[in-house]
Chains A and B, each alone.
Chain A
Amino acid sequence: MDDATIRFTVDGIEIEAVAGQTVIEACDAAGIYIPRLCHHPDLAPAGQCRVCTCTINGRNGAACVTPAMQGMVVENETKPLNDDRRAIIEMLFVEGNHPCVYCVASGDCELQALGYRLGLDAPKQPYLWPGRPLDTTHPDIILDHDRCILCSRCIRASRMEDGKTVFGFEGRGIAMRLNVDAQGGLGETQMAAIDRAASVCPVACIVIKRDSYKVPNGKRRFDVSPIGSDIEAKRMPRT
């Protein structure tokens, strides 16, 4: 162990991190899955969804934006935290319009997958039925604002990965919306279907046309094993 190695515990398991890593990055590398939604390994963290909140040294903090520190005590897989995480997923389901039944992302949707993993049998809060407009101005991409969960992945990817800044937010509070860099909709922006921003959406807000329903039911990303299984497999290889 050299000086740059940081050691801390997650639910009693000691793991190692290198300086500069966040808690979630260190846990991913160590095969410990922390539920998350707005976080994406290729993008700078934004701390928006709060699903990855852990109890760190006795205080709640988002694992995606908390730097790993020597001697930290992190609680992750606890009932109270998973109850709160499930409550956040439920909030997102009722805030937007997420009809899995006829959604192109079903089986491949991270919101849905977290609902499954965390055991959300049904959202019980009143649905808000937002009725946000559908943007079909782009020849290759549909933007369904009703399904947006305001995770900012596309905003970050467009700015940092694509160098385009096609997306931003608009408004505040419950009226906050995803906005595009043109008055006439996505079709008037620099957006292209091959952009990173088009592929990082965790739900079906950004949908590439003529590319749906290619994977049969039963073989989709989350059909057989829960979200996070790939990370956990690093720790407990299948026998």
Chain B
Amino acid sequence: MTEGHDEAARQLVAQFGFDRSRLMDIVQGLQRRFGHVSDDAVRSIASALRIHAVEIEDMVSFYAFLDRKPRGRCRIRLSRTPVSMIKGMAAVASAFEAALGISVGETSSDGAFTLEWTSDIGMADQEPAALIDTTVLTALVPDDVPHIVAALRDGRRSAGVGPVLPKAGVRSSLVQPGPLLSGGHDNAAGLQAALCREPVKVIEQITASRLRGRGGAGFPTGLKWRLCRQAVGEEHYVVCNADEGEPGTFKDRLLLSEFPDLVFDGMVIAGYALGSRHGVLYLRGEYAYLLDDLQAVLAKRRQLGRLGVAICGTIGFDFDIRIQLGAGAYICGEESALLESLEGKRGAPRDRPPFPTERGYLGQPTAIDNVETFACVARIMEHGAAWFTASGTAESTGTKLMSVAGDCKRPGVYEVPFGITVNELLDLVGAADAEFVQVGGPSGQPVAPKDFGRRIAYEDLSTGGSTMVFGPQRDVLEIVLQFADFFVDESCGWCTPCRVGTTLLRTGLRKVIAGQASLEDIATMEAVAGTVTRMSRCGLGQSAPNPILGTMRSFPHLYEAKLRADADISGFDLDKALGEAIKVQGRQPVPEEG
């Protein structure tokens, strides 16, 4: 029996009202306390919730930040992204390995530390960055590492206030504000304006603004809200998608840390417009460090009457927001996977129809919108639809928050009007010599200099805002390989084409980079990429081949330069295949004749 796990599990299940849909909170409570979710804990939860242990294992084993076996008491997660690597993460990682005496992926023998890689943690403008438990360390250099490890060994990390660990701090990312990020943001002006109208008039105003989802997919928000409002259900739900997981993006982090009331106002406005009483903000696990501050903002809003019963004196409009912390799964940024996660299950996307507006959270009509979309909503209600449509293009109204990082002088968040060209954006950030820009994260588009005249807009380069800039000194194929790794790590596994296809694509790309691929191998990769794009269940799989397909189109010479001369002999490595036999039998192969 693992000491205390059974009791803790039972207490947590009771604390969350014996509600199976709160399994995420229950297991996170155990993970925080014991560092893993033990077999005993699983059994206890299962019996208390009257479900099967296999259902809990199904859920827990899905998330990168939940463990079934004990790991180190302190978890050091190093962000591994193309941006972190060009900013020197490899040397930082080596410094951690040296200071801890373990390799990445290992736990120290005293059980004190586990050192591991993690996908992007939303700090692209301040890489190399690391997560130490929930604390974020930024702009690391190898010399920091001995001090960090010494501080951790001293136990100086739990002080709670102030940057106790060296480099424990996230600086503001805002470089260029625009209309959205200018003016007051905690005076509830947009909310007050909305509450003066009929709910349907609020939706009309949003529709008139032609606001589209800021996550990148660009679905018209007004239409989504109308469909959700019309859908019949016992409850309606408002969900804010703060699972900002696309590598290279960090603009939602800025909104949540510096403009949280704008986001919450937008959610309350949605609640009013949709006739909803419940809002949920799904916060990515990597942003756990924001949780206490966000809870404090919510508490203050309740005091001010901006949450709770009869909001701002509006009799009959009751609405509150809870925050659900995620646990390390990129796929949960996909709205239907987010809903599954919110219901305490593995984050596997759902098939549509039904759409979330019809049957979403707990089977009820649900409007899920991006953090930035809700901020836009609050501003539109404050200033009007015409104010909003004054910027941007006909199809992409308003401004867009762009997260820019990589080889540029001024990384950070830029609020720019839709329609700005890649060139104009590169000028703003100081990246005159850019050779390769990844717009929209790995699932977006690789853009070569010949296409720098293209525009950031739903009708051209559609993006959630992630922009990674790479200079002429970078190896494009290595960057593409890192994106391929990312999709292998983050594929949920539910559907065949994405689960297997992402692995096959990575294998193919490795072969290319090793100089072992023939033209036929390239054609095979293209065929696999096509199948994954066309047959995958959700957006993750459908866009996972984009970095490969996009660079094949934009940088064909890089692939051609790697082709092997002898196309008849495939990339089979005889020496490698004989390695084990040489070791076991202790002799070399007979030299080949002729």
Chain A directly contacts chain B within the complex, with at least one CB pair under 8 Å: yes
Query: Residues on A close to B: CB < 8 A?
Result: 45, 47-51, 53, 60, 62, 65-67, 83-84, 87-88, 91-92, 94-95, 124-126, 128, 149-150, 165-176, 179-183
User: 9 nearest interchain CB pairs?
Assistant: A176-B493, A168-B54, A181-B54, A91-B500, A168-B58, A65-B351, A87-B531, A165-B52, A173-B491
Q: Which of A53, A66, A124, A180 contacts B535 (CB 8 A)?
A: A53
B497 contacts across to A, CB distance below 8 A = 50, 87-88, 91
- In the bound complex, CA of A118 to CA of B135 (Å): 53
Expressed in whole angstroms, the minimum distance between the Cβ of A118 and any Cβ of chain B is 13
Tell me the nearest residue of chain A to B536, going by C-beta: A50
Give A205 to B232 CA distance when docked, in angstroms.
43
- The stretch from B25-33, B438-446, B501-509 touching chain A is B501-509
Partner of A124, one of B62, B351, B488, B524: B524
22 interchain pairs (CB within 8 A)? A49-B495, A66-B353, A84-B530, A84-B531, A91-B500, A94-B504, A125-B504, A125-B528, A126-B504, A165-B52, A165-B55, A168-B57, A170-B58, A172-B62, A172-B346, A173-B488, A173-B490, A173-B499, A174-B488, A179-B54, A181-B52, A183-B39
Q: Which of A48, A167, A179 contacts B496 (CB 8 A)?
A: A48
A180: chain B residues within 8 A (beta carbon): 54
Contact at B535–A84, with CB atoms within 8 Å? yes
B6 CB contacts on chain A under 8 angstroms: none
Do B55 and A174 touch across chains, with their CB atoms under 8 A apart? no
Enumerate B462-519 residues with CB–CB distance to A below 8 Å: 488-497, 499-504, 507
Type the 1/0 row for B368-393, where 1 means its CB is closer than 8 Å to any CB of A: 00000000000000000000000000
Asked whether, in the complex, the Cβ of B492 is within 8 Å of the Cβ of A165, the reply is no
State the CA gap A172–B502 with chains docked (Å): 13
Q: From DSSP, what is the main secondary structure of chain B's interface residues?
A: helix
Within 8 Å CB of B51, what residues of A?
A: 165
Decide yes or no whether B53 CB sits under 8 A from chain A.
yes
Given contact pairs A84-B531, A170-B61, A91 touches B501 in the complex (Cβ within 8 A): yes
Known A92-B500, A126-B507, A174-B502; contact A50-B535, beta-carbon cutoff 8 A: yes
Q: Are A47 and B495 in contact (CB under 8 A)?
A: yes
Q: How many A-B residue pairs have CB under 8 A?
A: 120
Among A51, A62, A88, A169, the one with the most B-chain Cβ atoms within 10 Å of its Cβ is A169
* A50 and B346 contact, CB distance less than 8 A: no
Q: Assuming A50-B496, A125-B528, is B351 touching A62 (CB within 8 A)?
A: yes
Please give 13 more A-B residue pairs, beta carbons under 8 A apart, in addition to A60-B535, A149-B496, A172-B329: A47-B495, A65-B351, A84-B534, A91-B497, A91-B504, A95-B500, A125-B528, A165-B52, A167-B54, A168-B54, A172-B493, A174-B493, A182-B53
Residues in A neighbouring B52, C-beta threshold 8 A? 165, 168, 181
Task: Please judge, given known A-B contacts A62-B537, A173-B491, A173-B492, whether A179 and B500 are in contact too, CB under 8 Å.
Answer: no
B122 to chain A minimum Cβ distance, whole angstroms, is 21
Which residues does chain B contribute within 8 Å of A165, judged by CB atoms? 51-52, 54-55
Are A179 and B537 neighbours in the complex by a CB distance under 8 Å? no
A233 to chain B, nearest CB (A): 28
Known contacts A87-B528, A166-B54: does B537 contact A50 (CB below 8 Å)? Answer: yes
Do A172 and B61 contact each other (CB < 8 Å), given the known contacts A50-B495, A50-B535, A87-B527? yes
CA distance A140 to B147 in the complex (A): 59
- Asked whether, in the complex, the Cβ of B346 is within 8 Å of the Cβ of A169, the reply is yes
CA distance A21 to B163 in the complex (A): 59
Bound CA–CA A127/B66 (angstroms): 30
A169 contacts B58, CB within 8 Å?
Answer: yes
With A and B bound together, what is the CA distance between A170 and B39 in angstroms? 14
- The answer to whether B488 and A171 touch across the interface, beta carbons within 8 angstroms, is no
State whether A176 touches B53 (Cβ < 8 A): no
Given A173-B490, A173-B492, verify A168-B55 contact (CB < 8 Å). yes
Report B-chain residues with C-beta under 8 Å of the C-beta of A84.
530-531, 534-535
* Residue among A88, A128, A176 making CB contact with B531, cutoff 8 Å: A88
Nearest CB of B to A78, in Å: 12
A53 to chain B, nearest CB (A): 5
Chain A residues, CB < 8 A from B495: 47-50
Question: Please, how many angstroms separate the alpha-carbon atoms of A51 and B495 in the complex?
Answer: 10
- The one of A66, A87, A149, A174 in contact with B491, judged by C-beta atoms closer than 8 angstroms, is A174
Query: CA of A173 to CA of B530 in the docked complex: distance in angstroms?
Result: 19
Which residue of B is nearest A55, CB measured? B534
Question: Which residues of B415-450 are within 8 A (CB) of A?
Answer: none
A122 vs B58: C-alpha distance when bound (angstroms): 34
Least distance between B546 CB and chain A CB atoms (Å): 17
Pairwise interchain contact B62-A171, C-beta atoms closer than 8 A: yes
Nearest to B53 among chain A residues (CB) is A181
A175's partner among B493, B501, B527, B537 (CB-CB below 8 A) is B493
Q: Are B496 and A92 in contact (CB under 8 A)?
A: yes
User: Which B residues, 31 to 63, have Cβ-Cβ distances below 8 Å to chain A?
Assistant: 39, 51-55, 57-58, 61-62
